[in-house]
Amino acid sequence: MFRTALRNVLAHKARLLMTVLAVLLGVAFVSGTLVFTNTISDAFQKSSQKGFDNVDVAIQPHTADRDREERRPGHAPKLSQHLLDQAGKVPGAASATGSVSGFAAVADKHGKLVGEGFNSTGANYYPGPGGKDARYPLKDGRAPQAAGEIALDAKTADRGGYKIGDTVRLSVDGPVLEKKLTGVFTTDDGNVSAGGSLALFDTATAQKLYATPGEFGEIDVKAAPGTSQAALKTAIDKILPRDAEATTGKQLADDQATMIAQGMDGMKTGMLVFAGISLFVGIFIIANTFTMLVSQRTKELALMRAVGASRRQVTRSVLLEALVVGAVAAVTGLLAGIGIGAGLRSLLNGAGATVPDGPLVITPGTVVTSLVVGIVVTMLAAWLPGRRAAKIPPVAAMNSVHAVATTRSLVVRNTIGALLSGTGIAAVLAATGMKDGKTVLGIGAGLLLIGVFVLTPLLSRPLIAAAAPVLNLFGISGKLARQNAVRNPRRTAATASALMIGLTLITGLTVIAGSVQQAIDKMATSAIKADYVVSMASHTPLSPEVAKKLASAPGVTASSPLRMSASRIDGDHESLTGVDGKSIKELTKLDFTAGSFDGLTAGKAVVDESTAKSHGWKLGSTVDATFEDGKHGKITVSGIYKGNELMRGIMVDTTTLAPHQSVVNDQQVMVKTKAGTGASAKDSLSKALGDNPAIQIQDKKDISNDIAKAISLMLNMLYGLLGMAVIVAVLGVVNTLAMSVFERSQEIGMLRAIGLDRKGIKRMVRLESLVISLFGGVLGVGLGVFFGWAAGELIGKSLGTYEMVLPWGRIAVFLLIAALVGVLAALWPARRAAKLNMLAAIKAE
Amino acid sequence: MEYVLNAPPSRQELSLVTTTPSGASTAVRTTAVAARATDLTKVYGQGETQVVALDAVSVEFRQAEFTAIMGPSGSGKSTLMHCMAGLDTVSGGSARIGDTELTALNDKKLTRLRRDKIGFIFQAFNLLPTLNALENITLPMDIAGRKPDQAWLDTVVETVGLSGRLKHRPNQLSGGQQQRVAVARALAGRPEIMFADEPTGNLDSRSGAEVLGFLRNSVRELGQTVVMVTHDPVAASYADRVVFLADGRIVDEMYEPSADAVLDRMKRFDAKGRTS
């Protein structure tokens, strides 16, 4: 049996090629994802582990909110110099290192930021007993010792073009700092190996920048030879104050490894979902191919039945063929996937996102998963055709006439399809009216997608018939193409469905993304009256210096910071936003349902509607607040406004907060200038801030561009991932056409004989391909728009300015892509059809 | 759609003008030649496996004449037809349809020649299952982008007796009816010559007789020229003339054949085949 199956596979190599390719691509996607994520997370884990080489026990501020009632809101505990001194003297401790760290943006020689904003760090150089910090071996120069000195990691110094003795421009929370580069060091720091920058200050300077003098963020203790990490931890636990805890270096490394693995898991799952979509699409192609092979071999299979093979053996022989095909595709797919994994890593490296070096990780799990997925998917798809093969009666072998399989009625199929689609549509529509309809919407969308897929054969006739007027322009080729396309509705349906699935998702996501972008955009531009919004590029807090400088900058007519301060009100944590009470109404445009910004002075607050409602506040209510230093105060509600995504919560005048804040953090500063927006106004603001690369000055257009950029980046990634499903769908179209050409070779030969030239034959095949592809495209775009609309109804509930925007341009592009798919897929089958040997085709019976 | 070949219209016109579909049983005989092979040679393969299918065959097919080509299997009768009909390439010699030399034509011109000047009838009917009977009949005109001559079309449809079945699909028709559609398709374009390859091979004797009758009528009443390949002596007896082929050569010719005479002639081939 196995030998027959193997022979069959070999005999139909060419026809199985597309099937193999489809499975191969899916498997490659799966194994590529696994190899890539495993490799990256392994590399990150190894590099982060190296970072803990010097740490046997780490003392960190206790972050758990154990006794929140006693603690001051928003206060982050720090570790004292006293604790550091004590830790170094604990029995079994060799040395103790204190560290403080935070954000530090380094500009290169041209004033541009080095690295990304989010992984630019600054820390202290803590000379140990030998006068050296073991974490940061110096490559060149000496350690920073005074406030005006700095050391940079080798990569950053290189990228910034700095040499020892140069003046480095950098910024921690706004103002530009200029420091002399005294040393260049190497480090295993995970952030740096991942492409970030690290600047080192002397301890006192770092403490001033990131904490308060004499305090540390972390204390690392190194064990003396012969002392275990656990023993050292036990010793240190005894001296710990209440708001600090000790962790062994091993535990830290493990924790970080778990965290990295978790981070990668999200990415892995996401990519596997898309791999799954590709494989799902591939199922259609496999099923199509095997259906074809079985119907071509009707006689042969009947002969097997006639000479005594049981039905089960016939099914099994088809499944065995699928097994062989699946195994070949899975193995090659696995190899391709490993290649993809390796390629992706070097691609990332090339793109500047530095990934730590490490070996390519191919786990047994990856190999097994890939092989199993490939084989199971293929056999699953071949199962139905296999069952159908078993139903061929033995007498079919005796018939001299073609035993043409009778087309089974589509009534049952259409009924099921109509039921599924109907339920799906009902569920989707019901979901749009619900408060939390996400699950219902998902289920409804799934049902509808399957329902439409089941109904595709029924839909193919009217939809393709609708294209008749256009096709008839191409004369007889067009007419024949249209009729050929609906000749085997099931096959056409399966082929078009493969394309439909990809395009449904792509269109739906595009509709949603475009609408959300417009909604946020509208909100941003309608809520803000300010000409510019100033913030850190890294989205870390700004120094209050910035607000002060901007307020006095030339041409500025109004400015206000958005100053965050934690507080507790009625036992709940609430964030207070400090604003300039006099200027804020010039800078924002909010709808007040009661009161206004007027009179927002010390002791007053404006509150958004939902916060007011949840606390039961009205205009004039007096609120008892606990400020971040733990002191109590009374605030009177002087206005209630409609909140939105950008502006919400409790706003107070900065003077209300001033007595309670030791460290002031501004999220952003809003500015209105006399000149309005324009290059010169922006320049003068930038100049007032000392041309700091870490600070971004954005007008409304910049903000909406930012939003657009983020959304289109996300969309492009999704397009890339879904593109795979489209490629698999192209293979499906190629496959179907190749099969059609093969099946109809006699017809094509006759057409050639009675005078249709090669061009006409080619055109006929191409048009058929185009019709099938566009059919899938239209279905996909239609469903996508419907799902996009339905999802939008849900989003609209939480996003007030949401309104569905139909991306006509994109929709046209998608249909164009569908058409392109059709044309490309037809290239090879059309050539084959035109080259067909006329005589052989006519003689063939 | 400018036709590039310089076919003299006079002869064609002559035969068509002088024949009327009024049922006059007098066939109009002209001596004009519809197709001619001169030293036509066809060789398959190379070297050791070389097979000479046609060995310098010279033959004429006259207008408004029904010619049958007969011969044992492998005699080259199908090859001769394929070469004359522009379906196959020629190794040597010349093949002409009217005044057009086929060997000088490229694929595109050959295709056009087949479309406009030649009608085909195949053993396996070869109708398009997606088209109904009428659409199948007008297919060659549709390919050419021409409007069919309605009066002629009506005549043809009536002649083959398909008036009531024009809207039927091939799978709703019997084998005989399907082959009649094929005959009508070949006739509809008023070809200069029609080639039929074992047209009765897949039919029962009654349907076969009908189809052969139509072919003969199309010659006698409509003035068409028909060349038919067959190995059935009864089919050959419908022809005006039988050409016998053996081993790639023309070995005999017979006018006004009867089935018995053809069978006798064929038996001699068989005997020769067995003795040699």
Q: How far is CA A597 from its chain centroid?
A: 40
Residue bearing the bigger pLDDT, B199 or B268: B199
| Cross-chain CB nearest to A753 (options B112, B120, B124) | B120
Assess A405–B contact: CB distance below 8 Å, yes or no: no
What 3-state class would DSSP assign to A702? helix
Question: CB distance from A468 to chain B under 8 Å?
Answer: no
Chain A interface disruption, residue of B78, B105, B126, most A CBs within 10 A: B126
Phi, psi of A712 (to 5 degrees): -75, -30
Q: Distance (Å, rounded) from C-alpha A469 to C-alpha A182?
A: 78
Q: Which of B95, B124, B77, B88 is nearest to B236 (CA)?
A: B77
Give the domain ranges of chain A. Answer: 1-100+211-406, 459-529+701-845, 532-698
CB-CB under 8 Å, B144 with A755: yes
DSSP A446-502: HHHHHHHHHHHHHHHHHHHHHTHHHHGGGHHHHHHHHHHHTTSHHHHHHHHHHHHHH
* Cβ contact, residue pair A475, B142, below 8 Å: yes
Nearest to B140 among A480, A755, A757 (CB): A755
Helix (H) or strand (E) holding A781: helix A758-798
Mean pLDDT, residues B203-232 taken together: 90
- pLDDT by residue (tens digit) across A314-360? 888 888 888 988 999 999 999 999 988 888 877 776 655 556 667 78
Please tell me the predicted confidence (pLDDT) of residue B16: 38
DSSP one-letter code for A541: P
In this prediction, residue A260 carries a pLDDT of: 77
What's the maximum distance between 2 C-alpha atoms anywhere in chain B?
Answer: 57
Burial (CB count <10 Å: 0-12, 13-18, 19+), residue A807: middle
Phi then psi for residue B52, to 5 deg, are: -90, 105
Confidence grade of residue B3 (pLDDT, cut at 50, 70, 90): very low
Q: Which of A400, A487, A743, A757 to mutate to test the interface with B (most CBs of B within 10 A)?
A: A757
Contact indicator for B225, B63 with CB cutoff of 8 Å: yes
CA distances from B79 to A631, B75, B269 (A): 109, 9, 19
Closest Cβ–Cβ partner in A483, A484, A839 for B82: A839
Tokens 């293979």 belong to A731
Closest in A484, A760, A842 to B122, CB measured: A842
B108–A839 C-beta distance less than 8 A: no
What is the rounded CA–CA span in Å between residue A295 and residue A391?
A: 11
Q: Which of A462, A450, A378, A373 is nearest to A417 (CA)?
A: A450
Q: Which residue has the tokens 């449904």?
A: A504
Contact criterion met (CB < 8 Å) for B111 and A483: no
Q: If interface means Cβ-Cβ distance under 8 Å, which residues of chain B face chain A?
A: 82, 85, 87-88, 107-108, 111-112, 114-116, 120, 122, 124, 126, 128-131, 139-140, 142-145, 185, 197
The ipTM assigned to this model is: 0.80
Q: How many Cβ atoms from other residues are within 10 Å of residue B140's Cβ?
A: 26
At B24, the pLDDT band (50, 70, 90 cuts) reads very low
User: 3-state secondary structure string, A339-388?
Assistant: HHHHHHHHHHHHCCCCCCCCCCCCCHHHHHHHHHHHHHHHHHHHHHHHHH
pLDDT at position A397 is: 65
3-state secondary structure B128-187: CCCCCHHHHHCHHHHHHCCCCCHHHHHHHHHHCCCHHHCCCCHHHCCHHHHHHHHHHHHH
What confidence score (pLDDT) does residue A331 get? Answer: 94
Q: Is A72 on the interface with B (CB under 8 A)?
A: no
The pTM of the full predicted model, rounded to 2 decimals, is: 0.76
Amino acid in position A806 = L
pLDDT recorded at residue A66: 43
The pLDDT tens digits for B176-195 are 899 999 999 998 888 999 99
Please check whether residue A751 touches B, CB under 8 A. yes
Class of domain B63-84+115-275: alpha beta
- From chain A, pick out residues whose CB is under 8 angstroms from the CB of B140: 754-755
Contact A756 B111 (CB under 8 A): yes
Q: DSSP code of A678?
A: S
Q: Is A129 on the interface with B (CB under 8 A)?
A: no
Nearest to B122 by CA among B249, B248, B211: B211
By DSSP bridging, strand A176-185 and strand A149-153 are parallel
* Residue B143 to residue A751, Cβ atoms within 8 A: yes
* Distance in angstroms (rounded) separating the CA atoms of residues A181 and A108: 13
Cβ atoms A194, A119 nearer than 8 A = yes
Instruction: Give me the pLDDT at residue B21, please.
Output: 40
Q: Is A473 near chain B, with CB under 8 Å?
A: no
State how far the Cα of A148 lies from the Cα of A75, in Å rounded to an integer: 29
Q: Which residue has the higher pLDDT, B4 or B35?
A: B35
How many residue contacts between A and B have a Cβ separation below 8 Å?
68
Contact B143 A760 (CB under 8 A): yes
Q: Is the Cβ pair B88, A839 closer than 8 Å?
A: yes
- Substitution target in B143, B171, B197 with the highest count of A β-carbons within 10 Å is B143
Residue A630 structure tokens: 């733990």
Which chain B residue is nearest to residue A759, measuring alpha carbons?
A: B108
Report how far apart, in Å, the C-alpha atoms of B178 and of each of B9, B125, B127, B222 are. Answer: 32, 6, 8, 21
The enclosing H or E element of B193 equals: strand B193-197
Flag whether residue A231 sits within 8 Å of chain B, measured between CB atoms.
no
Under-50 pLDDT residues of chain A: 65-75, 400-405, 845
Which of B90, B111, B131, B141 has the most A C-beta neighbours within 10 Å, making it the best mutation to test the interface with A? Answer: B111
8 Å CB contact of A753 and B124: no
Question: Contacts of residue B107 in chain A, CB cutoff 8 Å?
Answer: 757-758
Report the sign of the C-alpha dihedral through residues A567, A568, A572, A576, in that order.
negative
Q: What's the first-to-final CA gap in chain A, in angstroms?
A: 28
Q: Do the bridges between strand A556-569 and strand A666-673 make them parallel or antiparallel, or are there none, so unpaired?
A: antiparallel
d(CA B34, CA B224): 10
Contacts of B91 (CB under 8 A, 6+ apart): B41, B42, B43, B54
